[in-house]
Structure 1
Amino acid sequence: MKEVNPIKDIEKIRTVKRLMKENGDLRDLLIFTLGINAGLRISDILKLRWGDLLYKNGKIREEVLVKEKKTGKTKKFPLNDAVIESINLYIQQIKPSDMEMWVFPSRKKNGGIRPISRIAAWQMINKYCKAAGIKENVGTHTLRKTFGYHQYKNGTDIAMLQKMLNHSSPKITLRYIGIEREEMNERYKSVNL
């Protein structure tokens, strides 16, 4: 399995989101937007039900509570404006009526019985990233790595980011988001003897 990279270019992120909107793929837009803004693993995104994002009256929750599949830990996080906008667009398109419905139902025959698969999510992410001109290896983990990369670049302390991603050490977090290699390359280039 190839290692995937974060999307470091903000304009490429905007292009992916624009393409999803233009194609009316608001389900995919929400998966993408939630992944790059919440730092969740794809397995935790795909298992969301409308009751996780909405109150019974249809109002969007301020905070979401997720039990991580991989770690078993509970993660609580607020929804930012980009995610709220994506939820609102998607709600207008599908008008969910049951809080137990999957947020990201499969479109296959008997769709709605289960959420889309990791493979379908991978295919969607690859399709839109390639269309946006992203050449690096991408996959479902790209979303989480993109979240971590941009948090770090926007000044989030590495210890805080480590906690947000539930990593065991800062070194793992830096390597995970591609900073360790990037900084090492910068150091090599900075010395011109």
Structure 2
Amino acid sequence: MESIEKNIDKYIDYLKYEKKLSNNTISSYYENLKKFYSHFEKKNILNLNADEIRDFLYDEGIVARTRAHYLTVLNSFYNYMISIEYVKTNPCETIKLPKLEKKLPSFLTIEEVDRLLNINPVKIYDYRNIAMMETLYATGIRVSELCNMKISDIDFNECTIKIFGKGSKERIVPMNDSTYNALKNYIDNYRPFLLKTKVSDYVFINNFGNVISRVGFFKILKKLCKDAGINKDVSPHTLRHSFATHLLNNGANLRVIQHLLGHSNITTTQIYSHLSNESLKEDYKMHPRD
């Protein structure tokens, strides 16, 4: 029988080439499996029973949400091992975790978005930042999709952007006038100065002439929020949540929002209907008899 390390590598290849999961998801699964394997360094993890795995999951220091993620990863791993006939049963099948309380994602108000987008450009990179923020809020794409966006993905004639989402799934999202103008201005007039002597098809370039990273974007967003006086805990996903919530509040169809966000399952998109209800309750407080 092959070593556990080789089996894990085969499983990771399966996730990448057959399941076509995103690199971030695969990396997360791999890290979880490495920690799990290290925990049982003196045992063969293919021979573990449910009690041993349960003890690991409830080990001190593992919070409920991480516990649930571990169980998802381990279920997937053991089911794969069954499919290639390395084990006969999945020891995780009988392990049930308490249901996690679903947290509604935070979002910005329209007034907060306006403040965030109201950047007074002074430096060359300010025009890039304007284009990034306009694009993220106007399209609802993920920050990884924003960073991976290429010049060839933008169709200025049709006012659309081709997005490659999780598992390399392709979708087309429209651009509004603000995004069109911000992108065109940045690409034509300022991006060449950021590239310097380098050549790249990536749209968003950092100050060293390389493609901007997720971490780099996060730092920019944090600074812009501070400058705009936004005191909420804002992440790149907050703009995605804001995009979907504002669309829904203005009457957009949930199926359309599902497509724009690149959700494979509409149940993932339905959380925004809860956000919309929360917004409705806040607005209702304005009733004179409340």
Following the alignment from structure 1 to structure 2, what is the Cα–Cα distance between the partners of residues 22 and 92?
A: 14
Contact 1:158 1:173 in 2 (8 A): yes
The verdict on how the C-alpha distance between 1:166 and 1:100 changes in structure 2, with shifts beyond 3 A counting, is same
The verdict on how the C-alpha distance between 1:40 and 1:169 changes in structure 2, with shifts beyond 3 A counting, is same
Q: Which moved more, 1:70-79 or 1:28-37?
A: 70-79
Is 1:153 matched up with 2:249?
yes
Q: Equivalent residue for 1:18?
A: 118
Q: Equivalent residue for 1:94?
A: 191
Contact 2:104 2:275 in 1 (8 A): no
Q: Equivalent residue for 1:64?
A: 161
Quote the RMSD (CA, aligned, Å): 3.3
The verdict on how the C-alpha distance between 1:43 and 1:141 changes in structure 2, with shifts beyond 3 A counting, is same
Q: Equivalent residue for 2:142?
A: 41
Q: Equivalent residue for 1:5?
A: 106
Matched letter for residue 43 of structure 1: S
* 1:152, distance to aligned residue in structure 2 (A): 0.9
* 1:134, distance to aligned residue in structure 2 (A): 1.3
* 1:179, distance to aligned residue in structure 2 (A): 0.8
Is 1:173 matched up with 2:269?
yes
Count of aligned pairs: 181
Following the alignment from structure 2 to structure 1, what is the Cα–Cα distance between the partners of residues 245 and 182?
A: 21
What secondary structure sits across from 1:19 in the alignment?
A: coil
The verdict on how the C-alpha distance between 1:99 and 1:106 changes in structure 2, with shifts beyond 3 A counting, is closer
Unaligned 5+ runs, structure 1: none
Following the alignment from structure 2 to structure 1, what is the Cα–Cα distance between the partners of residues 120 and 205?
A: 17
Matched letter for residue 84 of structure 1: Y
Unaligned 5+ runs, structure 2: 1-64, 66-102
* 1:13, distance to aligned residue in structure 2 (A): 2.0
Greater relative CO, 1 or 2 (CA 8 Å, sep 6+): 1
What secondary structure sits across from 1:66 in the alignment?
A: strand
* 1:116, distance to aligned residue in structure 2 (A): 1.0
* 1:166, distance to aligned residue in structure 2 (A): 3.1
Contact 2:104 2:271 in 1 (8 A): no
More helix by share: 2
Is 1:129 matched up with 2:225?
yes
The verdict on how the C-alpha distance between 1:155 and 1:187 changes in structure 2, with shifts beyond 3 A counting, is closer
The verdict on how the C-alpha distance between 1:180 and 1:13 changes in structure 2, with shifts beyond 3 A counting, is closer
Q: Equivalent residue for 1:28?
A: 129
Matched letter for residue 30 of structure 1: A
Deviations 1:13-34 (A, max 9, x none): 2222222535551111111111
What secondary structure sits across from 1:146 in the alignment?
A: helix
Deviations 1:33-80 (A, max 9, x none): 1111111111111111222225xxxx6553222221x24321112221
Deviations 1:110-129 (A, max 9, x none): x33xx111111011111111
The verdict on how the C-alpha distance between 1:86 and 1:178 changes in structure 2, with shifts beyond 3 A counting, is farther
Contact 2:137 2:240 in 1 (8 A): yes
* TM-score, normalising length: structure 2: 0.53
Following the alignment from structure 1 to structure 2, what is the Cα–Cα distance between the partners of residues 23 and 177?
A: 40
* 1:88, distance to aligned residue in structure 2 (A): 2.3
Percent of aligned pairs with the same residue? 24
Is 1:52 matched up with 2:149?
no
Q: Equivalent residue for 2:203?
A: 103
Following the alignment from structure 1 to structure 2, what is the Cα–Cα distance between the partners of residues 63 and 28?
A: 20
